[in-house]
Amino acid sequence: MGQQVFAYIIHKDGVADDTALELIAAAGKLDTDASVTAVIAGAGSELDSVCNEVASFFDEVWKIDNPALAYVTAEVLRPLLVRILPKHGIVLVPHDHFGMDLAPGLSIKINAAYLPDVVDFEGIDNGKLKAVREEYTGQVSTHVLSDISQGAVITVRPGSFKADERKSGDGLVIDKTAQAIESGLLVGAHRFLEIIEAQVGEVDITKSDILVSVGRGIEDQDNMEMIFELAEAMAGDVSCSRPIVDAKWLEKSRQVGTSGQTVKPKVYMALGISGAFQHVGGLKGSPFVIAINKNPRAPIFQVADVGIVGDILDFIPELTERINELKSA
Amino acid sequence: MEAALISPAKATVFGIPTVIFSLIIPIVGVGIFTYIIALRLKPMVKACPDPRLNRPAHRFFKMIKYAVGQYRHPRYMDAGIIHIIIFAGFVILSLRSITIVMSGLSSSFVLPRMGGISGQIYLVLKDVAETFVLLACLAALYRRIVIKPERYAVPAKYGKEHTREAVLVLLLIIGLVTCDMLFEGSRAAAEIQKGFKTEILVPITGTWLAAHVLTVVPVHTLQNLHLGAYFTHEIIFFFFLCFLPLGKHFHVLTSLPNVFFMKLDKGTVKPVKWGVEDEDLDELESFGVKKFEDFTWKHMLDFYSCADCGRCSDNCPANAVGRPLSPRFISIKCRDYSFNKYPLIGKPANNRSLIGHVLEEDEIWSCTTCGACEQECPLFIEYIDKIIDIRRGMVDEGMVPQSLQKPLRAIEKRGNPYGKMEKKRGDWTKDLPEDFNVKILGKNGTADTLYFVDSVTSYDDRIQEIGRAAARFLDAAGIDFGILGPAERDSGHEVKRFGEEMLFQDLRDRNTDAILNSGAKNIITTDPHTFNALKNDYKGIPPVEHISRTIINAVTWGNIRLKHIENPGKIYTYHDPCYLGRHNNLYDDPRKAIDAIPGIKRIEMEGNCRDRSFCCGGGGLMLFYEPIEEKRMSQVRVEMAKQAGANVMVTACPFCMVNIEDAIKTSGLEGEMEAIDLVELIERHMIID
Amino acid sequence: MEILVCVKRVPDPSENEIEVNKDGTDIEGDDLVYSVNEWDNYAVEEAIRIRDKVGGSVTVVSVGDEEAEEVVRREMAMGADKGILLSDDAFEGSDGKGIASILTAQVKKENYDLILTGALADDGAAQVGGMLAAMLDWPFASLVNFIEILDDKKIKVGREIAGGNQEMYEMDLPCVLSIQTGINEPRYVSIRGIRKVASLEIPVHTAGDLGISPESVGEAGANTKCLDYFVPELGDGARILEGSTDEIIDNLIELLKAKGGIK
């Protein structure tokens, strides 16, 4: 392919996001021979520690260091990337709330092809990349063909590419700050104010070992009680998918997913949850996932270790009873 | 003949002839009264039309039965009897009041035909009536002040207690009858003292008592008492007259006309606007009730007529489970708003939309249209039509809860609230035995009978079983039937009752075409909502019957035979679906059908059956609505069945089945209670040769 | 404030069973019903609320064939003041960039202060808003779940980010925002409402009207092409427990014990 591949690294509190490794894996699938450059924007010592961490598994690390980048926003970053990216480069960005902000506009500004929310690559032929995407909330998949010979911005769905182990590398950290910020930062039209933190609920599901998670399949608010009973029997906590929060049956702090909490339980019961990637994206640390769903084609069965095809309303009360019997025995 | 005491018509006080007061008080009183009534009529003149003069003889009969005969009052026995006594007393004493007022002008005044013996009889009657009214008022006071029945309570969100007004009125009535007793009694006492001939004094009546107590009082004191009682009566009387249209006692004046103008056809819904044909509805500027003047004049009269008795809310299932709806306060809040907007003095309240200022969105969506309130109201105040009219206004403004928007849109696109494919509408028949062929009328067969299945039975996994049981029953009964299959749309019963009239009309028109196209001569439904829609909302289609009637006919003519009940431990109770019972008066058919099974044990949920059945939570779109409530109606209902001693609830409505089965699960009564549809029950007991 | 809202006509997954057709060239088209993209509906509602508060007008625009007029009309029934359909045979087969450039041409013809799009649509790409902003050189924010108009020059915007947190910005107008569901509760559009706007004229602008050269858009101009559709293979996935409910639960309890789900 011969084109340079870049991976934009998201980081927080001096630590690179899990997607950094996934982007390496994605780049490898894209082109096994490609040398991959990590691009990291930030400020001061936190930035340095991310760079050092990332340098251990990327071939090269470009950093952009400016106090104004202590909180990176897409609008400020985009023109900086435009200045430092070479022609015809391939840029990989995680398809998350930051990527959605940054990437479409970036593709226009560097006049490159744009491939959003890619879940797999199936090879490059004659400058044309064959990639796999999902449509209709994952009900069908599609192969898309895109001419990336003039460069591309590709957003990669978090969790789609599994990095087996860290490539041991000894990447060089190159400071690109001067090139990126030659004529100052683009501020003014778009000013970051603050983060309004989600209200902390009665339980912190990010710290739970056992999560009994409920989705649309619960059907009715009155059935919520059986979820709590099961969670109590299992000595776990109750979490949920977005529809439950939208219906106001549980507080936002119990929502697992990309727009909710990221959780790392040991056991995760997905009850009546279809398993859209926005939900599964909130599951980290490879828990043991048990899925119960009416629809045998529900994507959650892809993620789960053990699945039961059936109505949760039939299973839950019985399961709760059996566990309680077991405990009292 | 010399009178024992000087009458008010001839007396003087400080040299002023009292006849002047006898003249001024009525003139002022009637004047103020006329002014108030004119103001009360003002919004009714601006209101929407509402033709209520059809079938006058029928209306007159109803008025005699329900307004004069107080037919519904004994449904609440204690309060009912007290009310009947006070009402009867009022009727008798109205003549007396006119006589008293007139006697202030002329001491020899008598009403026509009230001289001689009939007058004597009347006087006896009125003495008795006065005494009864007095006792009834004392009993009512005791109820109001000491017993304080719960249904009179005013929850904080609806304002202050109304007890004061009730007590004041009772005191006024007590004042009226006591004054007359003293007026008459003082004269009788003077007559006794002077040895004159007295009028007949009925023993133990108030007048009799007064006369006897007052015989010890000097005559000049009696004279003052006589005049004092007279003018106190006069003032109370006219004060009371003017007080009536200021609050809940307006019903004293409006109840007769309100009952006369009652809604005669149950189960129907009023058109969007009377006098506007369906095809002209697009021309209307606005839809439904958004502001007060969008109500019809009769609905305004309803507000005026509400006696605040709380019977509607006491029977309202939504109110019982803590939903933000209490029908009584729909009336009271709208009445109070009307009084503020058309004030007797001062500036009128601003013109405001009803929703958000007088009524709340959740309040209006909380109603299942079960009809319990209307069944109970002694004055036939309507709630369902008003609520639907308000919903029509809300739908027109886009104010529809998110949870209801999806099913409504799915009905629009797919003809069913689940958004399932039209072509799968007949798929429920696929689980019938292979050789059991259900014809699709208009497509692959003809039949005399059309089974109109409707959405829930077509698509809901559990309810499809009712459809299949119905199919097997119809087949066994030798009825040649078919279904519309993909050509059928949702009947639109709830769509109409949720205020989306134009969507309903679209569904109705498509279904009407499909039904007529099918060539069927009669229609059978298993769903009371469908039954009500086809019977009362559709026009020009073949006659429709609910399957409970079909079952009875099949049993009666021997077309099916039923076997003895297997499990003698099962105690059945029948839950009346609202749209079969209250809205269509079908209480006995399903009961007879159940009782046709040999050996079956059926009990009633006494006090909560037939027209006092408790709604399961509502059907159709109500299944999708997420109300604010403390508990589920269906759970309350299942509890009632349990209390009655039953362990099987038989119903005849798919939505009742959905709700009740759900409640059995959520109440943890699985194994103790079960639910079965009437058709399923019959089908399981059919003897198949 | 002049607001433009970009909407798309899509088969709503909640009212359709999306299946791949026989040849795998597209999704099965028979029996599909279409409606406005859910996110776009929130965007239109938000635009109407802003207009009702600060004045101005709301224009709804859609790129599509004549059938897309249906959704434009529906959003007008909701309360949008104007509707525009951008339709031309040359537009067919456009990729995200193509759609964005068609919209850019429309925006440049008029004066808009604020452009709203849905955060994403049926294809899940979430691309048109960001591209449109870049082409116009306007500021952009995606996944917007809060908008407050500060004055006629600036607005305050909230974005939905991970962890249920919200990122707050102040942005200058004009700008482009892509709207996340849940920002409001869209109003209901009644059949009567749709009928009331049935006769309103919806202007159709073609490539010529917009000054777009046909080869730069549509299939000709698309860099990204869809090759085929398929149902994802059910890979290894979960071990599905089978048998009677009791057997399944026995099995499950053993697994839970082994994995520490029952203590």
Q: Is the pLDDT of residue C177 over 80?
A: yes
Radius of gyration of chain A (CA): 22
Taking an 8 Å cut-off on Cβ atoms, the answer to whether A225 and B666 are in contact is yes
pLDDT at A169: 67
> What domains, with CATH codes, occur in chain B?
12-249 (no CATH), 278-396 (1.10.1060), 415-556 (3.40.50), 571-684 (3.40.50)
CB contacts < 8 Å between B and C, how many?
58
Looking up tokens 């469908």 gives B530
Chain A residue closest to C234 (CA)? A302
Cα–Cα distance between C6 and A268 in angstroms, integer? Answer: 40
CATH at residue A170: 3.40.50.620
* pTM score of the predicted model: 0.90
Same domain, A12 and A123: yes
Taking an 8 Å cut-off on Cβ atoms, the answer to whether B632 and A225 are in contact is no
Q: Which residues of chain A are within 8 Å of residue B626 when distances are taken between CB atoms?
A: 221, 247
Q: Which residues of chain A are within 8 Å of residue C234 when distances are taken between CB atoms?
A: 297, 301-302
Give the range with max mean pLDDT: A246-250, B7-11, B57-61: B57-61
- List Cβ neighbours of B194 (8 Å cut-off, separation of 6 or more): B4, B219
Give the gap in angstroms from C-alpha C219 to the nearest C-alpha of chain A.
12
Chain C residue closest to A324 (CA)? C262
Question: Can you spell out the DSSP letters for C38-105?
Answer: HHHHHHHHHHHHHHHHH--EEEEEEESSGGGHHHHHHHHHHT-SEEEEE--GGGTT--HHHHHHHHHH
Q: Which residues of chain A are within 8 Å of residue B633 when distances are taken between CB atoms?
A: none
C-alpha closest to that of B119 among B140, B105, B103: B103
CA C91 to chain centre: 18
**In terms of residue numbers, what domain contains A235?**
205-328
Q: Which residues of chain A are within 8 Å of residue B665 when distances are taken between CB atoms?
A: 313, 317
**C3 touches A: beta carbon within 8 Å:** no
* Per-residue exposure over B516-540, b if at least 16 CB sit within 10 Å of its own CB, e if not: eebebeebbbbbbbbbbbbbbbbee
Mean of pLDDT values over B458-473: 95
B151 DSSP β-pair partners: none
Taking an 8 Å cut-off on Cβ atoms, the answer to whether A116 and C96 are in contact is yes
Same domain, A143 and A261: no
Q: How many CA atoms lie within 13 A of B471 on its CB side?
A: 25
C-alpha closest to that of C142 among C124, C156, C129, C123: C129
Does A26 fall in a domain? yes
**Test the B interface: residue of A221, A222, A223 with most B CBs within 10 Å:** A222
> What is the tally of structural domains in chain A?
2
Cα–Cα distance between B94 and B81 in angstroms, integer? Answer: 20
- List Cβ neighbours of B361 (8 Å cut-off, separation of 6 or more): B355, B394, B399, B401
* Per-residue exposure over A287-322, b if at least 16 CB sit within 10 Å of its own CB, e if not: bbbbbbbeeeebbbbbbbbbbbbeebbebbbebbeb
Same domain, A93 and A146: yes
Taking an 8 Å cut-off on Cβ atoms, the answer to whether B662 and A247 are in contact is no
Q: Which residues of chain C are within 8 Å of residue A318 when distances are taken between CB atoms?
A: 245, 249
Q: Which of C128, C159, C256 sits opposite A97 (nearest CB)?
A: C159
Helix, strand, or coil (residue A268)? strand
CATH at residue A284: 3.40.50.1220
- List Cβ neighbours of C24 (8 Å cut-off, separation of 6 or more): C228, C229, C230
The CATH architecture annotation of domain C2-221 reads 3-Layer(aba) Sandwich (3.40)
Q: Quote ipTM for the complex.
A: 0.90
Taking an 8 Å cut-off on Cβ atoms, the answer to whether A315 and C238 are in contact is no
Same domain, A168 and A310: no
Cα–Cα distance between B36 and B39 in angstroms, integer? Answer: 5
Same domain, A251 and A299: yes
* pLDDT tens-place values along chain A, 329 residues long: 578 999 999 999 999 988 898 999 999 898 888 889 999 999 999 999 999 999 988 889 999 999 989 999 999 999 999 999 999 999 999 999 999 999 999 999 999 999 999 999 999 988 999 999 999 877 889 999 999 999 999 999 988 888 755 566 678 899 999 898 877 766 667 888 888 887 766 778 888 889 999 998 888 887 888 999 999 988 899 999 988 887 788 888 899 987 788 888 989 999 999 888 778 878 887 789 999 998 887 888 888 889 999 888 888 988 999 898 888 87
- Please give, one letter per residue, the 3-state secondary structure of B520-573: CCEEEECCHHHHHHHHHHCCCCCCEEEHHHHHHHHHHCCCCCECCCCCCCCEEE
Of the listed ranges A201-215, B299-313, B582-596, the one predicted with least confidence: A201-215
Amino acid at B121: I
Does A302 fall in a domain? yes
Helix, strand, or coil (residue A41)? strand
**B402 touches C: beta carbon within 8 Å:** yes
Cα–Cα distance between A83 and B117 in angstroms, integer? Answer: 117
pLDDT at A158: 86
Q: How many CA atoms lie within 13 A of A119 on its CB side?
A: 14
Same domain, A176 and A209: no
Give every strand in the sheet of A60-65, ordered side by side.
A113-118, A152-156, A90-94, A5-8, A36-42, A60-65, A172-175
CA dihedral C219, C220, C223, C228 (to 10 degrees): 40
Taking an 8 Å cut-off on Cβ atoms, the answer to whether B399 and C190 are in contact is no
C36 DSSP β-pair partners: C9
Does A192 fall in a domain? no
**C150 touches A: beta carbon within 8 Å:** no
Cα–Cα distance between B219 and B214 in angstroms, integer? Answer: 9
pLDDT at B1: 47
Surface-to-core class of residue C53, CB atoms within 10 Å of its CB (0-12 exposed, 13-18 middle, 19+ buried): exposed
pLDDT at A2: 75
**C135 touches A: beta carbon within 8 Å:** yes
Which residues on chain C place their C-beta less than 8 Å from a C-beta of chain B? 12, 14-17, 31, 33, 35, 78-79, 185-193, 195-196
Give the gap in angstroms from C-alpha A252 to the nearest C-alpha of chain B.
18
Same domain, A139 and A228: no
Neighbours, chain B (3 or more CB pairs < 8 A): A, C
Neighbours, chain A (3 or more CB pairs < 8 A): B, C
Same domain, A171 and A209: no
Does A188 fall in a domain? no
Question: Can you spell out the DSSP letters for B108-161?
Answer: T---TT-SHHHHHHHHHHHHHHHHHHHHHHHHHHHIIIII--GGG---GGG-S-
Report strand pairing: B601-603 vs B571-574. parallel
Q: Which of C171, C245, C261 sits opposite A189 (nearest CB)?
A: C171
Give the gap in angstroms from C-alpha C259 to the nearest C-alpha of chain A.
7
Cα–Cα distance between C99 and C92 in angstroms, integer? Answer: 10
Taking an 8 Å cut-off on Cβ atoms, the answer to whether A222 and B662 are in contact is yes
Same domain, A216 and A302: yes
Same domain, A165 and A217: no
Structural contact between residues B649 and B660, judged by C-beta atoms closer than 8 angstroms? yes
Question: Can you spell out the DSSP letters for B412-464?
Answer: HHHSSTT---GGGTTGGGGGS-TT---EETTTS---SEEEE--HHHHH-HHHH
Cα–Cα distance between B396 and B290 in angstroms, integer? Answer: 9
Note the maximum CA span of chain C. 71
Cα–Cα distance between B19 and B37 in angstroms, integer? Answer: 27
Does A31 fall in a domain? yes
Cα–Cα distance between C51 and B61 in angstroms, integer? Answer: 57
B294 DSSP β-pair partners: none
**C227 touches A: beta carbon within 8 Å:** yes
pLDDT at C183: 93
Taking an 8 Å cut-off on Cβ atoms, the answer to whether C224 and A115 are in contact is yes
Taking an 8 Å cut-off on Cβ atoms, the answer to whether A223 and B666 are in contact is yes
Structural contact between residues B124 and B200, judged by C-beta atoms closer than 8 angstroms? yes
Chain A residue closest to B634 (CA)? A222
pLDDT at C165: 84
Chain A residue closest to C12 (CA)? A136
Chain B residue closest to C75 (CA)? B398
pLDDT digits (tens, 9 = 90+) for B631-674: 889 999 999 999 999 999 999 999 999 999 988 987 888 889 99
Helix, strand, or coil (residue C1)? coil
Question: Can you spell out the DSSP letters for A190-255?
Answer: EEEEEEEPPPP-SS-GGG-SEEEEE-GGG-SGGGHHHHHHHHHHTT-EEEE-HHHHHTTSS-GGGB
Structural contact between residues B419 and B427, judged by C-beta atoms closer than 8 angstroms? no
Q: Which of C14, C17, C191 sits opposite B500 (nearest CB)?
A: C191
Taking an 8 Å cut-off on Cβ atoms, the answer to whether B666 and A222 are in contact is yes
Cα–Cα distance between B620 and B476 in angstroms, integer? Answer: 29
Q: Which residues of chain C are within 8 Å of residue A138 when distances are taken between CB atoms?
A: 232
Give the gap in angstroms from C-alpha C230 to the nearest C-alpha of chain A.
5
**Cβ under 8 Å to A: B residues 398-457:** 403
Q: Which of A221, A223, A317 sits opposite B626 (nearest CB)?
A: A221
Same domain, A133 and A94: yes
Cα–Cα distance between B334 and B324 in angstroms, integer? Answer: 16
C225 DSSP β-pair partners: A145
DSSP secondary-structure letter at B345?
S
Structural contact between residues A238 and A214, judged by C-beta atoms closer than 8 angstroms? yes
Structural contact between residues B687 and B562, judged by C-beta atoms closer than 8 angstroms? yes
- List Cβ neighbours of A9 (8 Å cut-off, separation of 6 or more): A16, A17, A19, A20, A23, A38, A39, A40, A50, A54
Chain B residue closest to A220 (CA)? B626
pLDDT at A217: 86
Last residue of a domain, one of A117, A145, A180: A180
- List Cβ neighbours of B216 (8 Å cut-off, separation of 6 or more): none
pLDDT digits (tens, 9 = 90+) for B486-506: 999 999 999 999 999 999 999
Give the gap in angstroms from C-alpha C19 to the nearest C-alpha of chain B.
13
Q: Which of B405, B408, B423 sits opposite C31 (nearest CB)?
A: B423
- List Cβ neighbours of C180 (8 Å cut-off, separation of 6 or more): C39, C42, C119, C143, C144, C145, C159, C160
pLDDT digits (tens, 9 = 90+) for B175-228: 999 999 999 899 999 988 888 887 778 888 888 898 889 888 898 999 999 999
**A120 touches C: beta carbon within 8 Å:** no
- List Cβ neighbours of B289 (8 Å cut-off, separation of 6 or more): B295, B354, B386, B389, B390, B392, B393
pLDDT at C142: 97
Q: Which of C14, C188, C196 sits opposite B419 (nearest CB)?
A: C14
Does A105 fall in a domain? yes
Does A194 fall in a domain? no
Phi and psi (nearest 5°) for C184? -155, -175
Cα–Cα distance between C202 and C64 in angstroms, integer? Answer: 13
**C182 touches A: beta carbon within 8 Å:** yes
Cα–Cα distance between B452 and B507 in angstroms, integer? Answer: 14
Chain C residue closest to B400 (CA)? C188
Cα–Cα distance between B465 and B455 in angstroms, integer? Answer: 13
Does A60 fall in a domain? yes
Tell me the angle at which helices C38-54 and C69-78 cross, rounded to the nearest 10 degrees. 40
